[in-house]
Amino acid sequence: MNGPVLEARHIGKRFPDQMHIPVLSDISFTVGRGEFVSVMGKSGCGKSTLLYILSTMDTDYEGELLIDGELMTGKKSGRLAEVRNEKIGFVFQFHYLLNEFTVLKNVMLPGLKLDKYSEKEIEARAMKWLDVLQIKQLATKMPNQLSGGEKQRVAIARALINDPLIIMGDEPTGNLDKKNSNIVLDIFKNLSDEFGQTLFIVTHDPDFAEHTSRIIEMEDGMIIHQKNSARR
Ligand SMILES: Nc1ncnc2c1ncn2[C@@H]1O[C@H](COP(=O)(O)OP(=O)(O)OP(=O)(O)O)[C@@H](O)[C@H]1O
């Protein structure tokens, strides 16, 4: 399909214990193929809540969500899990690598859950991404032998293994020092520029956001501003 990768239509959210205060109100936007979008806003403005809805993990919201032109709202949990596994790659603030497996196996795991590629292909793809991210030499290491920045690069390789339509990130540089944040930012820019990867990243960091192609700015659960950055 050639329509938007992601489309939010008038999304709203209230938590059951605080029904009178909307945490999100009337959030509407689309993300097109190959866009590198960042979402900025002060702590508590609703960024993580929004990402949880966009990634289909929270199904209790107002409005509609479409991924790759398919309406997600009201879909059964089985279909939502399929869409998550096939179309979305996740990168979080913490890497969530499994300490009992090697780097290579960690990157391969989401691929092994799907029938999309054979095990041999998954291994080749994992090695390709480890190479692109310049951590191929770490393939046989265990996660606890890596630095924080290296772990986050492994997490990015893992997010790429199923050739996702979109990568969603929740503060992926939030736990990194400046040097490693810049490495991760360069990786995302490279994925966007060289591979046409669509990226949707929640961040606190204005320096990071400045390098994305569009910034969605939120305040008190609403979008207050959207701007295309100077980058393109
Ligand atoms: N399960 C919940 N029940 C009730 N209120 C919640 C729940 N989760 C989040 N909230 C409230 O919703 C608002 C938005 O929270 P959210 O975590 O989405 O903000 P955020 O912009 O991601 O913040 P941060 O940058 O600190 O991660 C906050 O006021 C928060 O207290």
Q: How many domains does the chain have?
A: 1
Euclidean distance between CA atoms 139 and 105, whole angstroms: 8
pLDDT in tens, 153-182: 999 999 999 999 999 999 999 988 999 999
Enclosing domain of residue 89: 34-59+77-228
DSSP 163: -
Region for 33 from its dihedrals, namely left if φ exceeds 0, alpha if ψ lies in -120 to 50, beta otherwise: beta
Euclidean distance between CA atoms 69 and 72, whole angstroms: 9
Q: Among the atoms of ligand 1, which is closest to the Cα of residue 17?
A: 4
Answer whether residue 19 is part of any domain. Answer: no
The pLDDT of residue 42 is 92
Is the CB–ligand 1 distance for residue 60 below 6 Å?
A: no
| CATH label of the domain that carries residue 46 | 3.40.50.300
Is the CB–ligand 1 distance for residue 49 below 6 Å?
A: yes
Distance between Cα 96 and ligand 1 center (Å): 21
Q: Among the atoms of ligand 1, which is closest to the Cα of residue 204?
A: 25
Is the CB–ligand 1 distance for residue 43 below 6 Å?
A: yes
pLDDT in tens, 96-120: 899 999 999 999 999 998 888 899 9
Going by C-alpha positions, the residue among 230, 228, 232, 216 that lies closest to residue 24 is 216
Question: What is the CB neighbour count within 10 angstroms for residue 132?
Answer: 18
Residue identifier of the C-alpha nearest atom 29 of ligand 1: 44
User: Is the predicted pLDDT of residue 1 greater than 90, yes or no?
Assistant: no
The pLDDT of residue 116 is 83
Answer whether residue 86 is part of any domain. Answer: yes
Answer whether residue 188 is part of any domain. Answer: yes
Average pLDDT over residues 182-202: 94
